[in-house]
Structure 1
Amino acid sequence: MIKNLKYLRKKDWITLIFVVALILLQVQLDLTIPEYMSKITMLVQTPGSKVSQITSTGGKMLLISLGSVASSVIVGYLAAKLAASLGRELRFAIFNKVQDFSMEEINRFSTPSLITRSTNDIAQVQLFIAVGLQVLIKSPILAIVAIDKIAGKSWQWSALVGGGIIFLLVVILLIVFIAIPKFKKVQELTDDINRITRESLTGIKVVRAYNAEDYQEEKFEKASANLAQNNLFATRVLSFLQPSLNFAMSSISLGIYWLGAIIINNAAAENQLTIFSDMVVFSSYALQIIAAFMLMSILFMLLPRASVSAKRVNEVLYTKPTILDGAITDENLETKGKIQVKNVSFRYPEAEEYVLKDISFTAEPGETVAFIGSTGSGKSTLINLIPRFYDVSEGEILIDNVNVKDYNMEALNNKIGYVPQRAVLFSGSISSNVNFGNNGKDEISNSDIYTALEVAQGKEFVEKLPDGIDSFVAQLGTNLSGGQKQRVSIARAVARNPEILIFDDSFSALDYKTDSLVRQGLKKHTSGTTTLIVAQRVGTIMDADKIIVLNEGKVAGIGTHKELLKSCNIYYEIAKSQLTEEELDIETR
């Protein structure tokens, strides 16, 4: 929890200091009230006391009470403001941290868990600051000073209050010891709820197509029941706290007056008034001690979940990314777009088997290099190493004769236009999505956007939309077809005018005619750009300058389409499954 406070801004620290000062003032005012009660008690029972004296003393006590109330209101407002500011900074910090994560860190935490940590967990920390800050500072001070005030008044009364305090401490420690593990489990189960909900909503078409609603409901019900049971158990444990406090308060109050009656009855007549006044003061301070513990009960209700949530937030914030930023940002390199893959092997984190083994090839500036192979042969994995979604396990990858690990990530990414297997669009417009490929910073002209769309064969369908390039795009592009999303995604990469274009099976949703037209447009518009294409269709890559055939993570063949038909059996079998005998015969002549 303390680590989270480092995200407070300078003005927030000033607010925090002001809040602490007001809380200390409030405690001082609260502890003064019993002294005025003692004076009023003495005045009421002293013969000849004037009403004006009693009224004056009562008025002062009332003003002090109002001052305490005013301080409490101001502290509540400032604490809420402070909590909201900390929540905002923590959310921003987590969002920025996740942006720097490689796929290894994202997969380690999982997307549903990162969402929970960014929302629910931060909300728990924020609630603790808003409600618990005042209690955290006020309660211990109030209890300690009140105990000091009554110490030595009467050993009988002191022993009674001490017994009550020991009873409350035992109850609180037991409750916290039992509750904290359950609250940790609750947050983990909340991750499960998010995961199942996200899966069901993302795959709603598949769920309905297979009539799997009951199956998904059963999964959700099981996770929901586990969450409810753990929540109920933790809440039931906490429910013992309030009755214990009420029992202690009632017992101590009754005990003080019972002992007081015995002490007064045994005291000399001239001392009875003083003892009675002491009893009133002692009772007031004893009640303030119990009130302090009642306030702390709020703290102990919030603390278990808040501490677990703070730890989960810190796990994200203090995770060191495995992919570190390099220092090279120089754009004035001699070559532009040259890629060298040297003896690269790769295995996923914590995996035993290598996905790629000893891969080597070179893509010269302006060349088109294609990758083909059976499912699971490592095609996508290989090209994902170039923009450093993962780092190689062995070997090295050079761009323009510089190891990709030595590049500043922004400089490296600025060299690359990337089109993933699954087209990802963002809520906004066609224009904002195409411009996103230009870093989303510098606006590009409408004519450049249309040019990029024309290359991607998307201009025609965009012009038919009601608002053209300003037409609305829903989150993830759900209001567009698969082919339309792919074409906008391709246009986004083209509009960036990068040195390197990477297409990770990015033509799969396009028909053969559109596929051919897109490749023609790319060849014409990006003639000086190095292009890497992962594809399943032989027709998509047969015109590539170099085709690399992968099989079980190894290079099975490198060459042109015609060369591989003659020299690589694996490539020939793939081509044979997609081309007619006549086409194969023509190509192999």
Structure 2
Amino acid sequence: MKKKEIGFKPFISLLLSLKIPKSALAVGLIASLITTLVGLIVPLLTKNLVDGFSLASLSVPLILGIALAFIVQAVINGVSIYLLSMVGQRVVAGLRERMWAKLIRLRVSYFDQHSSGETVSRVVNDTGIVRNLITDHFPSFITGMISIIGAVIILVILDWKMTLLIMLSVPLTVIVMVPLGRQMAKISRNLQDETAHFTGHVQQTLGEIRLMKSSTAENTEEARGVEGIDKLFKLGMKEAKIYALIAPLMYLVVMVVIVSIIGYGGIRVANGEMTTGSLVAFLLYLFQIIVPMATFARFFTELQKARGATERIIGILELPLEEPVQQPALSIDGKTLCVDKLSFSYDEGEPVLQDVSFKARPGEMIAFAGPSGGGKTTVFGLIERFYEPSSGEISIGTVPIQEISIASWRDQIGYVSQESAMVGGTVRENLTYGLPNAQAIETEELWRVTRMAYAEDFIRQFPNGLDTEVGERGIKLSGGQRQRIAIARAFLRDPKILMMDEATASLDSQSEGIVQQALSRLMDGRTTLVIAHRLSTIVDADKIVFIEKGRVTGVGTHQELIATHSLYRNFAEQQLT
């Protein structure tokens, strides 16, 4: 995804578009304001205490006033922290909800171009950065500004000359901090990108742990992981260098100002121009200026981080949806599937399909054959509407499938792939996956479809039956078991069009025989599209479409193609004799 520089206005607009609990935000900020104002009273009470200090002058009301100020400040501060944290959590939850709802409705082509780990990093890490800004740094910035303004006003009233001395340090601090802040923002953006890339690599490696181990690729993956960790380390050290400059500089400025105030104030106290209590109050107010200023550099760094994170979040939220406008539902029962002059390219200038045409009438079995890489699976992807064709049209009856609701279209298609994809969970959850009425489906209905898919016997042998956990991607099941559960899932959906992509290619001969029987049951009475390299599974097809290098080079029955198509005849001689 191409980076897009944005200003702070889209960042603010994005936050305002979320369901922020405004009452909690208002109360939290008001509580912070009260905490700050109470904090501004304490030095004045301390001044009175110091100026009139003697055992005899220690009045109970004054001591109680100071104690009460501290207690009120602590309680209200706790309320403020809780409410503002709730606001931050609500904001990040809202962001994640919007991103998640968007991501699962993006076109498949987005996921072809972006690793799942990178996308996960955007949903988790980038939104977390925005939350940190709102929950931790923004309230501190607001209260810090109030504290500084209030303290400066009181200091001017107390002693404008000493206040002027403090103010001389501000321009120096700004001159130093601004360029460092910009450098920090650049480093932080690179760190976010590298973190997303590293997260993607880790997720991919762990997701294919068996491939990695069977290929004895531990050393290769270790080297790649260490390389990613080293990049993160170097960027982290660059960030640390900036902080290493900021912290001592801030400390230096603070110490110079404190020493100057103590020295100058001490002289004025000695000369009788200032009371000791005023000097103590002055120092306390000075800390109420210095402490917030020390956090401002961090706030602006986090603000830049949040801006970079927002660029990526907005980049995802602005992507086109798979179905930009909701289309009406349509029953496809009894209608002919027509593919007319279909062309498609994953990358511009590299056509995968060119002028592919065929028809599948209700109840027909249409098979696709041809060399690997010819485009057969891509045809299925276009029919499923995972991709949009470059040219040509797919229609059902006389209606282009783009004019039908995607949900309605896919609900009427059953897809059984070679991988037999499964989700982590139970057998029951995999059978009912995606069905709107999943909780209402009777257990007996589930046993009926598993019986039809020749899956009932092995499921009943599990200790927990339908409630047996299948593991991540069904890893606890054999290939044949996963395939039969996938077929049972298709039975449950009762599809009008059935698509099978190399459905038995990876099975042993015994499993293949059982699965083939289940598939024959499933195909009965349905329009069926089949991809198969084993011609023995498609010799009885009503029509075979032979695809080479993205083009249809022959259409006909098994016997017709043997008579007219030399490459198909070669395939048949190799496999069937």
Taking structure 1 as the reference length, the TM-score comes to 0.89
1:587 aligns with none
Find out whether 1:119 has 2:124 as its counterpart.
Answer: yes
Give the letter aligned to residue 571 of structure 2: I
Q: Does the aligned pair in 2 maintain the 1:456–1:521 contact within 8 Å?
A: yes
Q: CA deviation at 1:230?
A: 0.7
RMSD, aligned CA: 2.6
Matches within 5 A, 1:35-434: 35-44=44-53, 51=57, 54-151=59-156, 156-264=161-269, 272-273=273-274, 278-300=278-300, 302-321=302-321, 323-331=323-331, 335-348=333-346, 350-434=347-431
Q: Distance in 1 between matches of 2:291 and 2:33?
A: 16
Q: Distance in 1 between matches of 2:144 and 2:130?
A: 19
Matches within 5 A, 1:441-480: 441=438, 443-480=440-477
> What do the CA deviations read for 1:332-379 (whole angstroms, capped 9, x no partner)?
x6x54531111111111x432111111111111111111111111111
Q: CA deviation at 1:407?
A: 1.7
Instruction: Pick closer, same or farther for the CA change 1:66–1:170 going to 2, 3 Å.
Output: farther
Q: Secondary structure at the match of 2:533?
A: coil
> What do the CA deviations read for 1:253-292 (whole angstroms, capped 9, x no partner)?
2111222244455x6x5xx256x55544433322211121
2:531 aligns with 534
Q: Distance in 2 between matches of 1:550 and 1:414?
A: 27
1:579 aligns with 576
How many pairs does the alignment contain? 567
> What do the CA deviations read for 1:238-259 (whole angstroms, capped 9, x no partner)?
2333333332222212111222
Q: Distance in 2 between matches of 1:337 and 1:467?
A: 42
> What do the CA deviations read for 1:96-139 (whole angstroms, capped 9, x no partner)?
21110111122333211111122222333333333223212211
Q: Distance in 1 between matches of 2:278 and 2:48?
A: 10
Instruction: Pick closer, same or farther for the CA change 1:455–1:546 going to 2, 3 Å.
Output: farther
Structure 1's unaligned 5+ residue stretches are 581-589
1:503 aligns with 500
Instruction: Pick closer, same or farther for the CA change 1:206–1:422 going to 2, 3 Å.
Output: same
Q: CA deviation at 1:60?
A: 1.9
Q: Secondary structure at the match of 1:346?
A: strand
Q: CA deviation at 1:226?
A: 0.7
1:31 aligns with 40
Find 1:5's aligned residue among 4, 15, 20. 15
Q: Does the aligned pair in 2 maintain the 1:157–1:256 contact within 8 Å?
A: yes
1:19 aligns with 28
Q: CA deviation at 1:155?
A: 5.6
Give the letter aligned to residue 340 of structure 1: C
Q: CA deviation at 1:554?
A: 0.7
> What do the CA deviations read for 1:459-495 (whole angstroms, capped 9, x no partner)?
3332333333332211100111122212211221222
Give the letter aligned to residue 405 of structure 2: N
Moved more, 191-200 or 437-446: 437-446
Q: Secondary structure at the match of 1:421?
A: coil
Q: Does the aligned pair in 2 maintain the 1:156–1:259 contact within 8 Å?
A: no
Q: Does the aligned pair in 1 maintain the 2:117–2:204 contact within 8 Å?
A: no
Taking structure 2 as the reference length, the TM-score comes to 0.91
Q: CA deviation at 1:154?
A: 5.1
Instruction: Pick closer, same or farther for the CA change 1:93–1:64 going to 2, 3 Å.
Output: same
Q: CA deviation at 1:229?
A: 1.2
Find out whether 1:544 has 2:541 as its counterpart.
Answer: yes
Q: Distance in 2 between matches of 1:273 and 1:461?
A: 92
Q: Distance in 1 between matches of 2:416 and 2:149?
A: 65
Q: CA deviation at 1:50?
A: 6.9
Q: Distance in 1 between matches of 2:555 and 2:513?
A: 23
> What do the CA deviations read for 1:564-584 (whole angstroms, capped 9, x no partner)?
11112222222222111xxxx
Q: CA deviation at 1:391?
A: 0.9
Q: Does the aligned pair in 1 maintain the 2:341–2:393 contact within 8 Å?
A: yes
Give the letter aligned to residue 57 of structure 2: V
Give the letter aligned to residue 239 of structure 1: A
Q: Identity over the aligned pairs, expressed in percent?
A: 26
Structure 2's unaligned 5+ residue stretches are 1-10
2:4 aligns with none
Q: Does the aligned pair in 2 maintain the 1:342–1:395 contact within 8 Å?
A: yes
Give the letter aligned to residue 394 of structure 1: S
Q: Distance in 1 between matches of 2:238 and 2:289?
A: 29
Instruction: Pick closer, same or farther for the CA change 1:165–1:3 going to 2, 3 Å.
Output: same
Q: Does the aligned pair in 2 maintain the 1:325–1:405 contact within 8 Å?
A: no
Q: CA deviation at 1:538?
A: 0.7
Q: Does the aligned pair in 1 maintain the 2:415–2:500 contact within 8 Å?
A: yes
Q: Distance in 2 between matches of 1:404 and 1:535?
A: 25
Q: Does the aligned pair in 2 maintain the 1:142–1:288 contact within 8 Å?
A: yes
2:5 aligns with none
Moved more, 294-303 or 217-226: 294-303
Q: Secondary structure at the match of 2:386?
A: coil
2:6 aligns with none
Give the letter aligned to residue 43 of structure 2: P
Q: Does the aligned pair in 1 maintain the 2:342–2:357 contact within 8 Å?
A: yes
Q: Secondary structure at the match of 1:479?
A: coil
Give the letter aligned to residue 485 of structure 2: V
Moved more, 227-236 or 255-264: 255-264
Q: CA deviation at 1:443?
A: 3.7
> What do the CA deviations read for 1:306-350 (whole angstroms, capped 9, x no partner)?
44334333332332325434421244x6x54531111111111x4
Q: Does the aligned pair in 1 maintain the 2:330–2:409 contact within 8 Å?
A: no
Q: Distance in 2 between matches of 1:33 and 1:437?
A: 61
Give the letter aligned to residue 145 of structure 1: G
